[in-house]
A and B are shown apart, each in its own frame.
Chain A
Amino acid sequence: MNKEHLNMALSSINASRTRSFMTMFGVIISVSSVITIVGLGHGLRNQVSEQITKLGSNLIIVQPGKPNSSSAVSLQSLQSVASSPEGIITEQDLSAVAKTADINLLSPIATITGLPSFEEKTMTNTVIVGASESLPEIVDKKVKYGSFFSKEDLAKYYAVIGRGVAEELFNENIPIGKSFKIRNVEFIVQGVFEETPVTPLSPSVNFNNSIVIPYAKAKEISAGSMQISQILVTTKSADVTEKVSKTIQSTILKNHGGQEDFSVLRQEETLAISDGVFSQLTIFIGGVALISLIVGGIGIMNIMFATVSERTREIGIRKAIGATNKQIIDQFIIEAVTLSATGGIVGIILSLMIIIAIRSTTSLEPAIVLPVIGASFLVSVGVGIVSGILPAIKAARKDPIDSLRGI
C-alpha cells in the first residue's frame, strides 16, 4: 500500500517537475545552509584547536584578565595580543614566573606601537613584539632565512621579521642585514620567519606581519608604554604542567595582592574556551537555519493545498473505487514527505559540493558533520509530515460526489 502511494507520489511529482522543484527549493536551501554553516563552524573550531594543540601540552599562558570573565570567553581572548583592560601583568610577575621550578622555556610577549620605516617607506599594519630568545621554540615557529636572535643577542638591536614585512617594507624576500628604524632607533634584520598560512580567528600572533625584537629593546624604545600581553611558559614535562600552573597562579596572586585579575591557562583550558565560543555560535546559526526550514515547510504546505484543489476529481475517483479517508490522507502525506525528503537529500548533496568547493578554493576547512546531516534530513522529513497533514485532511474531507463532478 505504502509502496503504491510512494509510486503515485513520485509520478505526480515527476508530472509537474518545475513546480515540485520550486517547492523543494526552500528545503534545499535551508538544509544546505545548515550543513554548510555548521560545517564551517566545526572546521574553524578544528583549525583553532589544532593550533592550540600544536603548542603542546606543556605550555602555560599567563595573560591579564579574569579567567572565565566575559572577555575570556569572547573571541577576542583567542587573540593573544589583545590587550585587556581588567588587569595588567607587570614585570614583577614576569621575574616571579621565571623563578618557578620545573620551567623549561619562558618568553614574554609584549606589544608596542610604532611605525617601522626603511629608507623613505613606512609600514602601518605591523605588530611589534618584544620577546625572549625562546619564542620560536615555544610557539613552534621556524625562521626560514637567517636566524632568530640568541641569548647573547638580547642586548643588540636585532629584529626578526615576517614574510609580509619583508615584502612590503623591503620589497625583497631576504632583506637580511638591512637596517630599518622603529621610533628612530635602528634595528638590523637578523632573520625572516617562514610563511604562516593565514587562518581566520587565529589564536596566535600573525607572524607574517610582525617584527620580533628582543624584550629589553622593546621596553627601551617604548619609553615605558609597553605592556606585557602574555607570558608563555613551557614546562620540563607534561606531567608537571598542572603543578607549575598552580604555582604560577599563587605566585602572581600574591604579587597582585590577592586580586585575581589575570588568568593562567593550560592547553585544555584554552581549548575549552574556544569550544565554548564555537558551540554558542553553532547553536545560534542552527536556530536561524531552523527557521528557514520551517519557512520551506510552509512553502510545501502551500503547494499541497493547491494540489488538493487541483486534484479534486482524482480524489473523487479514488473514493468511488473504495479508498478510505485514511488512505487518502496517507497518500497526500507521503507526497509531502517525498517532496521534503527529496529536498533534504538534494540539499545535503548541494552542501557537500559547497563544502568541497570552499575547501579547494579557500584556506577554510569546513567539516562534514554527519550528525548534523542526519538531523537536518530528519527535520526536513518531519517538516514534510507536519506540512502535509492539513492539506491531506482537506483532501480526505472532500465530498466524493462533488469531487466526481469536478467542482
Chain B
Amino acid sequence: MSVIKIEDVSKLFGFGDAATVALDEVSVTIEKGEFLAIMGPSGSGKTTLMNMIGLLDRPTYGKFMLDEKDVSKMRVNKRAKLRRDNIGFIFQSFHMLPKLSVLENVALPLAYKGVGQTKRLKRASAVLEQVGLSDREYFYPHQLSGGQLQRAAIARALVNSPSIIIADEPTGNLDTESTRVVMELLSEIHSMGNTILMVTHNPILTRYASRIIYMRDGGIVYDEASDVGQLPGRVERALQAVRTSREEDRIAGVSDYLKAMPQKKSPKRTTTKSKKRHSAKRRTKS
C-alpha cells in the first residue's frame, strides 16, 4: 500500500512572467516503511516537495494522495488535523518554542489534539525517554546542545505516533557525533515501521536510507533503492569518481559529487534560469 502517491505535481511561485517553477511535473510513490533520502542542490525543489507532502503547501497542479485519499484540494483546517495526526516534522534549525520547557514543547502537538495535561505530559515524558533525554525534561531549549535539541524535536515529531516523519536536513546544524546519534535514532524509528522522508546534503547519510531520490531543477532525476547500511550505487560511484574539487566550484557552493550526478533528460547542463523560463512558458500555455 502506498502511503504517498504524487502524480504530475507542479508548484509555481509568483504569477505571470515572474513565475518560477519549484516543482515540475513530479511523480513519485512512497511505500509504507520506506526511509527515503532526498538529495539535490539548493533550489532543486526538495523542501517544496517536503512541504507539499507535509501538507503545509498545496500543489499548483497535479494530484497528491495521502493514504489513498486525495488531499490536494482539502480545506485548511482538515489539512491541519491530518498533519497533526499523521505527520511529524523535524527541521534543520530544530524550531523549538523558546518559552516552553522541553517537556511542554514535546507535549504541544498533543495539546492541539485536545489531550488532557497530565496525560500528555506523561506521554511526552515517555517519548523523551525513548530519545534519551529523560534528564532534560524541565530544561529550556536554550539550555540544550544542538544534538539534544534535535533529539527533543524528534520526540516532538513522534509524540502523536505519526505514520510519516519528515526531516528537512535534520543534521545540517549538527557536529559529527550528534549527527550519528540523531541518524541512529531515525534509523531506529524506521525499524519500528515508520515511513521517513529525509532531505540531506550529506551523501554519507544515505547509508541509513532504503531509497534515494535525487532532484534537480524541480524534477526527480534519479531514483534508486538500496539496502539499509549500504551507500546507493550512484552515490558511491560519484564519491569515488570525483576526488578533486575545483576552486570556482567550491566558491559557487556546488559539490563535486553533485556535478557527477546525472542530469535531467539532457546530459548537457542547461542553466537553471533558461530551464525555469522554459518550464514556466509551457505551464502557462497549458
Residues of A within 8 A of B54 (CB): 320
Residues of B within 8 A of A324 (CB): 76-77, 80-81, 112
Pair B109/A321 contact, Cβ less than 8 Å: yes
Judged by a CB distance under 8 angstroms, whether B180 is at the interface is no
Pair B95/A404 contact, Cβ less than 8 Å: yes
**Chain-A contact segment, one of B37-45, B83-91, B220-228, B239-247:** B83-91
Cα distance, A320 to B96, chains bound together (Å): 11
Q: Which residues of A are interface residues toward B (Cβ below 8 A)?
A: 1, 3-4, 8, 11-12, 15, 313-314, 316-327, 400-401, 404
Residues of B within 8 A of A404 (CB): 56, 91, 95
Cα distance, A322 to B97, chains bound together (Å): 14
Shortest distance between the CB of B73 and any CB in chain A (Å):
17
Which residue from chain B places its CB closest to the CB of A11 in the assembled complex?
A: B99
Given the interface pairs A1-B111, A4-B117, A404-B95, the reply to whether A322 lies near B84 with Cβ below 8 Å is yes
Pair A322/B56 contact, Cβ less than 8 Å: no
Cα distance, A8 to B105, chains bound together (Å): 12
Q: How many residues of chain B have a CB within 8 Å of chain A?
A: 27
Residues of B within 8 A of A400 (CB): 56
Judged by a CB distance under 8 angstroms, whether B114 is at the interface is yes
Pair A12/B99 contact, Cβ less than 8 Å: yes
Q: Secondary structure of the A side of the interface?
A: helix
Cα distance, A322 to B82, chains bound together (Å): 8
Pair B112/A401 contact, Cβ less than 8 Å: no
Which residue from chain B places its CB closest to the CB of A326 in the assembled complex?
A: B77
Pair B81/A401 contact, Cβ less than 8 Å: no
Pair B56/A320 contact, Cβ less than 8 Å: yes
Residues of B within 8 A of A320 (CB): 54, 56, 83, 89, 91, 95
Which residue from chain B places its CB closest to the CB of A406 in the assembled complex?
A: B93
Which residue from chain B places its CB closest to the CB of A327 in the assembled complex?
A: B112
Pair A401/B77 contact, Cβ less than 8 Å: no
Which residue from chain A places its CB closest to the CB of B95 in the assembled complex?
A: A317
Shortest distance between the CB of B74 and any CB in chain A (Å):
13
- Residue-by-residue, is B242-255 near A (CB-CB < 8 Å gives 1, otherwise 0)? 00000000000000
Pair A325/B77 contact, Cβ less than 8 Å: yes
Judged by a CB distance under 8 angstroms, whether B51 is at the interface is yes
Which residue from chain B places its CB closest to the CB of A4 in the assembled complex?
A: B111
